[in-house]
Amino acid sequence: MKSGKLQRLKCSVKNYDWGRPGRDSQVARLFALNSGSQFEPEKPYAELWMGTHDSGPSYLVSSGENGVLVGSETVTLKSWLSKNPNVLGEKVLEKWGCDLPFLLKVLSVAKALSIQAHPDKELARTLHKLQPDVYKDGNHKPEMALAITEFEALCGFISLEELKAVIHAVPEIVELVGTEGANLVLRINDKDGEETVKPVLRAVFTQLMSASKDKVTEVIDRLKNRLHTESRVRQLTSKEQLVLLLEKQYPADVGVISAFFLNHVKLNPGEALYLGANEPHAYISGECVECMATSDNVVRAGLTPKYRDVQTLCSMLTYKQGSPEILRGVRLNPYVTRYLPPFDEFEVDCCILPRGETVVFPAIPGPSIFLVTAGEGTMNPGSPKGQVVTEGDVLFAAANTEISVTSASELHLYRTGVNSKFFQAQ
Ligand SMILES: [Zn+2]
């Protein structure tokens, strides 16, 4: 395998049960185009992974006879990088070693993902050491979701004011956290600082998440009946409607009721949400491009049939309150918008190139992954002849490579690379 400046990749897919059925899933469509295979219309397709993580590696594709692309399942991007470390660029090699620091995904969400948080580096190392079968690597996992369609999520704790309102309005929460817990919240003065509020929120949320299965089943049943009755005489709030939807997806799951504690965020296409370490969240519906540090560490505590680690989750959270920041991106030129989360490992560019136009991605000191989600065009890494790219193509670009892209039809592509602020700070 020669070390070209642009390498085509064949990527891995995940069929988690929350994914959208093949006929209705971007992930399925992109995966089928990427791998030259068919998708199953009824099977869930949840995530397409583009990167080097061992749980879902990408493989190099070489040109076969007559230009037909063949996958070489033996050469992973990771093993190729280990033989061609120069393509990562010096600064990336120095900081992260011989691997991609970021992992790019597309998500197609039909039903809610688990309520989860991702550990910081220190906790990740500890968890991986103690339970390597559950926590697969020792890395942290900051992440960012950039909406392709309307995208809904639960993210971070609601404000103190909202929390007090919820305690008044939802008697079932008081049943789970106890009158004493509820009163602790209600008695907090609005002028009290974080150091007063956080321990109370932690105690109350931990109490809620640790309630017995029987109690939770009983209380959620009561909540459901009450909301159905009240819906005949009043309009339910959007949070109440969400709670009923989650109950249908995950009956008798404590995650249903914990949704009352979290911000319900609705992203429009082109808006992004980022999550630092130890922030609770759950994606609910829609399709997005997701970027993260190369890690698969997830601590789950609700809305899941998978393993739950309630104690770890409740003790790791920051208990920061208030609405999360929504990124709308920075225009780099008429066709490219950049999303810069506050993490060194990654940034994402979204490019929409009208038919017949050309745009240049300047040379940068780190590697990039490109994903084409619609249209057709040519990518030219400075060599005499460019590569034709179409929907479903994924390409790795070496550091210090200028790439010009020309579209044959309106072309939609995403690029992810190391955060440009990381290079500026060097
Ligand atoms: Zn997550």
- Rounded distance from Cα 358 to ligand 1 centre (Å): 35
How wide is the angle at C-alpha 256 spanned by C-alphas 250 and 261, nearest 5°?
Answer: 155
pLDDT, position 190 = 80
- Rounded distance from Cα 404 to ligand 1 centre (Å): 33
Nearest to 151 by CA among 17, 291, 272: 272
- Rounded distance from Cα 207 to ligand 1 centre (Å): 23
Domain spanning 6-111+329-424, CATH architecture = Sandwich (2.60)
- Rounded distance from Cα 295 to ligand 1 centre (Å): 11
Active-site residue, selected from the candidate residues 8, 20, 29, 300: 300
pLDDT, position 335 = 98
Distance CA 79, CA 370 (A): 19
- Rounded distance from Cα 22 to ligand 1 centre (Å): 23
pLDDT, position 189 = 87
Active-site residue, 187 included: no
pLDDT for 159-199, tens place per residue?
Answer: 999 999 999 999 999 999 999 999 999 999 888 888 889 99
- Rounded distance from Cα 379 to ligand 1 centre (Å): 32
- Rounded distance from Cα 354 to ligand 1 centre (Å): 33
pTM exceeding 0.75: yes
Average pLDDT by consecutive 10-residue portion of the chain (426 residues)?
A: 74 96 98 96 98 94 55 81 96 95 98 94 93 89 96 96 96 96 92 89 95 96 97 96 97 95 97 95 97 91 89 94 95 97 97 97 96 96 83 96 96 97 89
- Rounded distance from Cα 143 to ligand 1 centre (Å): 7
The class (CATH top level) of 152-326 is mainly alpha
- Rounded distance from Cα 367 to ligand 1 centre (Å): 24
pLDDT, position 1 = 39
- Rounded distance from Cα 97 to ligand 1 centre (Å): 24
Query: In the chain, what are the domain boundaries?
Result: 6-111+329-424, 152-326
